[in-house]
Structures are given as C-alpha cells and as structure tokens.
Amino acid sequence: MAERRDFLIGYHMPVREAVLAYPGIEAVFERHGLAGCGGSEGPSEPIASFARAHGVDPEALLRALNEFAARRAEAVSLPVVDERPQQPFETYRLAIFTSLALALVGGLPLAVLVALGGGRDIGLGLRWAPLVQAHGHLQLVGFVGVFIVGIAYHVLPRFKNTELRYPGLALASIGLLAGGVVLRTATQPWADSDPIGALFVVSALIELAGALAFVVVVVSTLRSTPRKNYDRYLLAAVAWFAAASVANLVVVGEVISDGVTTAASSRGTPLLEMYVFGFVILFILGVSVRVLPHFLSLRPPRVQFLAPALLLFNTALLARVGSGWLAAYTGWSNPDWLHTAAVYGMGAAVLSFAFALNLHRAAVRADDGVTVGGHERLIRVAYVWLVIAFAIEVWYASRGLAGDFRPDFLEQGAARHALAVGFFMQMIFGVGARALPAFAGRSLYSQRLLGITWVLINIAVIVRVGHAVIPSGSTTFRFDHIAASGAIAFLAVSLFAYNITRTLTPSRRRRAQNRPKEESMKPGPKSEPSGAIRPENTVADVLDRVPGSLELLLAYGFKPLADPELRAQMAPRVTLGTACEMHGIDVDGLIADLERLMAGDGQGDEVTPPAQRVLNALRDCQDPEIPVNIVDLGLVYGVESDGQSATVRMALTSPHCPLAGQILDDVRERVRALGFADVDVQLVQEPPWEPSRMTPAAHQALGW
C-alpha cells in the first residue's frame, strides 16, 4: 500500500479547522471552485465530504491544501498575511432573496386572493382569471425559476471545477427575469387596454432576454469542461426554458392581438407543460444526480439507467407538448391515446430515475462526521409528491381514455400543485437548507424551524391536492380550503426565508458568540504533556511522552510518520483522534496500547494485541482490481489470535472473483510475516459483502 504524503491536512479534518489552522488557505479552496469554504462560523464538514459534494477530486484538493500548509509550516517566522479572497456571493444571494421576496410579496398572497375570489364575489370580476394566470407565472418563473437560476450560478462552476462564464450576464439575467415577471403580474389583469397591453408584451420580451442570458451562461460553463452524466439533464432543461420563453412571447402577443387578458387553455396548457416538465423538473433531476447521493447518503447510483430515463421523458414530453401546440394552431383533434401514452411514458421515466438514484432504498450511513439534518426528510418527501403527481396524471389520463372524463378546473390543479407545492417547494427547502449554509460557510440557523417548515408545507399540499382529487362540498367550500392551503404555504415559505436570512446574514450577537469558538480552535504550539492520553492530544505530544510510540504508531498504519521531514511537519498539528479518523483506526484501542507502553508493559508494537497486529498488517493487502486495502473495503469480517496462531474470516467482493486465490495467498503471507506459525484464512459466504461495509476512506478513494 502506497504511503500517503497528505497527512498535515487529512480527509476527515473539518473545513473550518483547516481555515483556522492555516490563515489564507481559503485561496486554495477558491482555486478549486470551493469559494465559501467556511470560517469560524462554518459547518464542521470534513474536507473530503465538502469536496465530493461540489464535484472536486478530494485527492487533488488535499495535495494542494497540504502544499500550502507545508509552506506555512516552513515559514512560521514570517508575518502571517491574510490571503483570503473576496467572497463572490452576491449573484446567488441576490437570486435567492429575490425569489423569496417574489413568493412572499406577490405569488402566495395572490394565491390566497384568487382562491377566495373563486367561490364568492370579492370584487375581482373580470380580473379574476388573468390574476390566476399571473399568480401561476409569478410562482413558476419568479419564485421557482429565479431560485433555480441562483443555485445554478453557484453550483455549476463547482460541479465542473471551473469558473462561471460571463458573470456580468449572469447578474443581468436575474434582474431581467425578476423584472419581467413583476411587470407581467402588474399588467396582465389590465392587458386589454392599449398602453398596459404594450407593457404586457414588453414583460415577455424582458423574460425572454433573461432566459437567453441564463442559457448562454449555463451552456458556456458546462461546455468548458468534460461532459458528466448530469449535463444532459441540465442542457435539456435550459433548452426547454429557452423554448418556453419564446412560446410565452408568442402567446402574450396573441393575447394582446385578440384584445383579451388571458391565454386560451389550448395555448396556456402546453406552455405551462414546457415550463413545469421541461425546465423545472429536468433541472431539479439533473442537480439531484449530482448532489443527492451525498446529501442523502444514497447507495452509488445506477448510472446506466439515467440516459434512457432522460430519453424517455423528453420523447414523451415532446409528444405531449407537440400534440398540444398542433391542436391549438391547426384544429387537429389531439387523440386521447396519444396524451395517455405521453403521460405513461413520463411517469415511467420518473420511476426509472428514482430507481437509478436509489431513492427507494435506505441511506448508507458513513461515519464521516456529517450530521443528517431535516433536509433529508424534505427531499425524500418531495420525491414522494413527484410520484403522487404523476400517479394523479396517469389516473386522469386512464379515465379519459376509458370514457369521456375531463378534469374540471380544480381537478386539473391537483397534479400541478402536487408538483408546485409538494415537489418544487420541498426541493427548494431541502436543497436550500443543505446547500446555502455551505455556500456561506455557516451552519443552518435553526433545524427546529426547518422541521416546522416541513410539517406546514405538507399540510398545505395535502389540503390543496386532497380537495381537488376527492371533490366534496360546495365550490365555495373547496375554494376556501385552497385559500387556507395558500395561507399555510405562505407561513412555511416565511419560516424558510427567515431561517435562510438568519443563516446568510448572522446577527452581531451570533458573530460575537462564535469568536470564542474560533480562538479555541486555533492550534497552539503543543498540548500540555500531563495527564492521560486523550484523542485531543497531538501526535507530537504522544511521541514526546511515550517512548517507543513511533514504532507502535507505524505498526497501526501511520506510515507517513516514518519520514522524519513529514513527522516534523505534521505531528505538532494533527491530533491523535483526527489521525485515527483518517485511517479508520479505533482510537480507544490505540490509546489503551499507548498507555500500556507508557507503563512499561512492552516495547513498540509488542504491546498491541495479536489480533490488532494482524488487522494492522492486512491494511497493506489490497484487492488487485480495486486500489483500496481489504480492511477499508470491509472484506475482513473478523480476526482471532492467541499469539501463536491466527484466524482471519473474510469475504470477497464477488463470490466468483477470479483473483480469489491471489488475495487469499497475500493475506496468508502477510500474517505469517508477523511470526504466526498457524494461519487459517476462512472464506465467508454469508452475509455476502456489499458496498455499505466500506469505510468512509474507501468511499472517498473510489469517488462514491
């Protein structure tokens, strides 16, 4: 097993610990596309996990970080210069806060207003229908769309380890999209009057300009680096966004030319489907491919199903939207079988995607220091609502094919709001709660508020969808429940906005509370060499206090300590606990051996129990097909030894592994080299090996 030279900063060192230990190291994170790596207020996320979440090779990042740390160690006599780069976060912050403001000031209050006006006369009159369309467009393009744009501008360069192309154009696109939807909301209800109608058209032109700017930035950024499996989803999404924005301009122009204020259903429906299914859903799925395996601790995705699922979804959507536009402009009668086939195809594609991503399976918990928060519950339930939405669509399409069923206005809204409130909003809450604090280098302000948000948004969607799918009561009664749903959703978004605002802009009091934490985390020259050995002691403390401890640590697998130069650099800075985490070693067992050695009960690795010595030796034994030792792979099920003989119980990654003989022979030779006369290697078939047995270090080495 090759020796590692990246021990100054290891896989499991928290990001903020590295930032505090080596001032100016943020510049290294920035060069790798990891701006916002944190600080005194940042999350205690391990460096490797942070890198994997943003698509950066942990090995390459660690090499660069350790080069910087080594230079710092060599230049300790020089004055410390803070090389921290300015944090370029205004683009994504602007988009996030703008999208939340659009929802809270416009979209959700309008939802309550039009719901109250649907079942009774509250003075809206002829303005009710255009307000309904304006509300939907504001929520879809303003709230959801602008939020996606902001997230995209921050994560895509980090996914691809590159720079965002045309940052000025990116900033302009946010203003154009937000300005366009605001102007549309203000003008559509009165678009039948000449001066305001012209502004209605201008709003569509502004939105188109913003959408095209977004497309240029995203496509240029993605094409600047090698293609990844999620790129196809993202490129398809931005193509649908551009097409929908063009179609929106055409439809708005027709509304004005007809002297009305609302788009006809024959044109509004395919336009809405382009935005909802083509842009929003595909973009969320693309980002999900990249981040959910890490965010939810999922098993490695079945990548072979991702491209077929995308092809099926796009083909079915093209048939659905294309037939809708054809029927709208030619008078062609859209057959029920074609619509049903398209709905079935899209539903099958969504199920295939969920299967490929292993969303239906339990999480694989890796003990890598990452705490699972409320974001996981939000994201998983969001995908449940995605499946429910398509189940409703399939049910309606099947009933239409079997008879003359046509869903009424409220029933049509069931699937749409299962998507808009159940899927879109919960994905915004879940991914936002997980990613936005990391962007800013802070912890989420309140997990409790996030839990309350989850409860409220699910009550809102159940109330909204339930009364549409299962009609009961009068029309006024049903609309009143929809208004209540909108009010609850407003409260959920308000709590989320407050949580995120407090996270991204902490109060002075909170910053002051964090200063003592920052000071306590700064490494001193050396811990006090008194008392019992603890995980908090540095390796240098242990080497100074315990004669013979170098040999013991080498026997445990800390091979870089054999290099005097590396030992001088890293031992004063790395704690015993961190070192054990890096190598997957039981810190309590090591401390027990060190204390026996300190008490004079042997020399070097002689104090190590025989079974532990065998396990240490097997860390040098690798599967020839996988560059990870068999202990980290989880192939070693157990070791027993009485000091004279040793028994190793182990499995193979496959029962039919063609290299089984070579691996077992290597195990026997390494154990015999320790002096054991009798070595028994037992091949275990049950329980079979599975990837969940691998250590975090193995997952990191394999890029999982």
Q: What is the mean pLDDT of the chain?
A: 81
Instruction: Please indicate whether residue 250 or residue 48 has the higher confidence score (pLDDT).
Output: 250
Residue 238: the pLDDT is: 96
- Cβ-contact 410, 471 below 8 angstroms: yes
Q: 243 pLDDT exceeds 50? A: yes
**Residue 2 DSSP class:** P
Q: Which comes out higher in pLDDT, residue 63 or 449?
A: 449
Q: What is the pLDDT of residue 86?
A: 39
pLDDT category at 703 given cuts 50, 70, 90 is very low
Q: At 312, which amino acid appears? A: L
pLDDT digits (tens, 9 = 90+) for 297-307: 787 788 889 99
Convert the pLDDT of each residue in 150-190 to its tens digit: 999 988 887 776 788 899 999 999 999 999 999 999 999 99
pLDDT score at 45? 59
496 vs 72, more confident: 496
**Burial per residue of 441-465, b for 16 or more beta-carbon CB atoms within 10 angstroms, e otherwise:** bbbbbbeebbebbbebbbbbbbbbb
> Which residue type does 410 have?
L
Residue 17 identity (one-letter amino acid): E
The residues, ordered by sequence, that sit 6+ positions from 658 with a Cβ below 8 Å of its Cβ are: none
Instruction: Check if the beta carbon of residue 58 is closer than 8 Å to that of residue 34.
Output: no
* H-run or E-run covering 639: strand 636-641
Is 493 a residue whose pLDDT tops 90? yes
For residue 599, the 8-state DSSP code is T
How many helical (H) and strand (E) elements, i.e. helices and strands, does the chain have? 29, 3
Is the Cβ–Cβ distance between 683 and 650 less than 8 Å? yes
Given a contact cutoff of 8 angstroms between Cβ atoms, the answer to whether 538 and 576 are in contact is: yes
> pLDDT at position 385, please?
96
Q: Output the pLDDT for position 182.
A: 97
104-118, 373-387, 664-678 — which is least confidently predicted?
664-678
Q: What is the pLDDT of residue 444?
A: 85
Average pLDDT over residues 438-443: 71
> What is the rounded CA–CA span in Å between residue 11 and residue 481?
51
pLDDT at 88: 42
Average pLDDT over residues 212-234: 91
Q: How far is CA 64 from CA 6, 10, 704, in A?
A: 9, 12, 21
- For residue 584, name the pLDDT band (cuts at 50, 70, 90): low
Beta bridge partners of 148: none
SS3 at position 534: coil
pLDDT of residue 455: 96
Q: What is the mean pLDDT of residues 554-570?
A: 65
- What is the rounded average pLDDT of the residues 18-40? 63
Q: What are the residues facing 648 on neighbouring strands?
A: 639, 681
Which residues, other chains included, contact 408 with Cβ-Cβ below 8 Å and sequence gap of 6+?
A: none
Kindly state the helix (H) or strand (E) to which residue 638 belongs, with its residue range: strand 636-641
Question: What's the confidence (pLDDT) of residue 85?
Answer: 37
Residue 21: per-residue pLDDT: 65
Whole-angstrom CA distances from 123 to 116, 118, 481, 487 are: 11, 11, 20, 20
Q: How confident is the model at residue 508 (pLDDT cuts 50, 70, 90)?
A: low
Residue 200, pLDDT > 90, answer yes
Listed residue (264, 291, 475) closest to 375, CA to CA? 291
Task: Return the pLDDT at 157.
Answer: 84
What are the residues whose beta carbons fall under 8 Å from the beta carbon of 586, sequence distance 6 or more?
A: 580
The torsion angles phi and psi of 650, rounded to 5 degrees, stand at: -150, 165
- Which of 259-263, 588-592, 679-683 is the most confident on average? 259-263
For 284-337, what is each residue's pLDDT tens digit?
Answer: 999 999 888 878 878 778 888 999 999 999 999 999 999 999 999 987 888 889
Least confident interval from 100-114, 421-435, 641-655? 641-655
pLDDT over 50 at 255, yes or no: yes
What pLDDT is attached to residue 567? 67
Which of 127, 125, 181, 193 minimizes the C-alpha distance to 149? Answer: 181
pLDDT of the residue at 158: 75
Nearest to 619 by CA among 571, 691, 574, 556: 556
Rounded mean pLDDT of 364-371?
Answer: 47
Percent share of the chain, pLDDT over 90: 40
Residue 441: pLDDT band by 50, 70, 90 thresholds? low
Q: Would you call 278 helix, strand, or coil by DSSP?
A: helix
Q: What pTM was estimated for this model as a whole?
A: 0.68
3-class DSSP string for 1-63: CCCCCCCCCCCCCEHHHHHHHCCCCHHHHHHCCCCCCCCCCCCCCEHHHHHHHCCCCHHHHHH
pLDDT for residue 120: 85
pLDDT of residue 689: 77
